Amino acid sequence: MDAQVNKTVLQNGIRILTQKMPHALSVSMGVWVNVGARDENPAENGLSHFIEHMIFKGTRQRTAFQIAKEFDAIGGHTNAFTTMENTCYHARVMNTHTDTMVEILSDIFLNSVFDPREVENERPVILQEIRMVDENPDEYVHLLSGQNFWGDNPLGRSILGSPENIIQFEAEQIKTYFHRLYQPDRIIISLAGNLAHNAIIDKVGPAFDSIKPGNGIPGRITPQSRSQVDLHYRQLEQVHICLGAPGLSITDPRRYAYSLLNTILGGNMSSRLFQEIREKRGWAYTVYSFIASHVDTGMFGIYLAVDPLRALEATNLVLAELGKLGTVPVSAAELQGAIEYTKGNLMLASESNENQMVRNAQNEIHFNRIIHLPEVLQKVESVSAAEILALAQSLFEKKKLSLTLLGSVKKRKPFEDILYS
């Protein structure tokens, strides 16, 4: 089902993965770095994301305009993203333009100059991005929920950084951080599509082999989650609610049952929360559960937005649904529906070379091997109702839950009473 993934390790430790998909008309490439916001100290918070912006702002050979123009000229799409633990610079082009894509992505990653003038130009852009989150309550409540759940640990900070930090960052500080943390053993180059592995190695290898190893990166500190109710009053039409529970790490063997539990509770339109809160009662337009997994820990979350008069009642209903999952095994039909939904998503995603590029890189980062789709499907199919029951019992203890509310709610005690009684 999966095409073979070829792997070459350069002398400095950089790993290059390619997956040939002969029927694809395009090629996707990502330069991944196992470094993210979690690796920053408080004074550095926001640097990883700032670097993501600056990578596209000029090299020794190209200006920012030339980078954009050359990608546009080949009909390509390029972007980047920063997470708590990774940063990725990626692009997708028609396979006839693979060499051009590889050359441009290599240039911006290896030869960015971090021009002080470009830093000054980009600073207000990032400040605007921070304001956009602050002014969007359904996004902002997730940031507040992370702060509430993880406390002072880097996982509780914004990936974008604070305005105070962004205002102070200078070009030399950004460049120093880049060279200190972007070390070869943290870099993976992943490509998927209509390509030839050896041709990619010939193109990528000599350029990336020039990166020298550094002195090591400080280890990540595993946080203890917090359990408390956190209110943020704001005059809004809705109350935005995030409930957090301890979750699983990315590599936990129970991750397949975890995924199915998420699907059953709030992962699709037939899920329990969607049906109970939106379809049966009409209390919310948006309600869902989600998973935030990291290399050593995680959070299971639930989000909904309701009328302020319904906030307490809706929260209580969510808690009741969590209680049911830890009390009564899911039915055979409900479990099978979640399995088929998950399998369908996985198999549809496997047809996209962009998804395969991402999947291969993440497998290499977290497992140091490619986990092929048939193995994943077999693990999903083997999950039992008893496993989901046991997992719900271990995760959804009331004394371990955190609750974050943003909107026209002033009284904390009623929510504490239903959460911890």
Same-fold call for 5-208 versus 229-420? yes
pLDDT digits (tens, 9 = 90+) for 210-253: 999 877 777 899 999 999 999 999 999 999 999 999 999 999 99
pTM of the model: 0.94
Residue-level pLDDT at 421: 79
For residue 1, pLDDT over 70 is answered with no
Residue-level pLDDT at 3: 76
Distance CA 379, CA 4 (A): 20
CATH code linked to domain 229-420: 3.30.830.10
List the domain boundaries for the chain: 5-208, 229-420
CATH class held by domain 5-208: alpha beta
Distance CA 396, CA 133 (A): 29
For residue 2, pLDDT over 80 is answered with no
pLDDT digits (tens, 9 = 90+) for 326-359: 999 999 999 999 999 999 999 999 999 999 999 9
Q: Which residues are marked as active site?
A: 52
pLDDT band (50, 70, 90) for residue 417: very high
| Residue 391: count of CB within 10 angstroms of its CB | 21
Residue 261: name the closest of 275, 253, 271 by CA: 271
- Burial of residue 418, with CB atoms counted within 10 A of its CB: 0-12 exposed, 13-18 middle, 19 or more buried: middle
State the chain's mean pLDDT as an integer.
96
Residue-level pLDDT at 214: 79
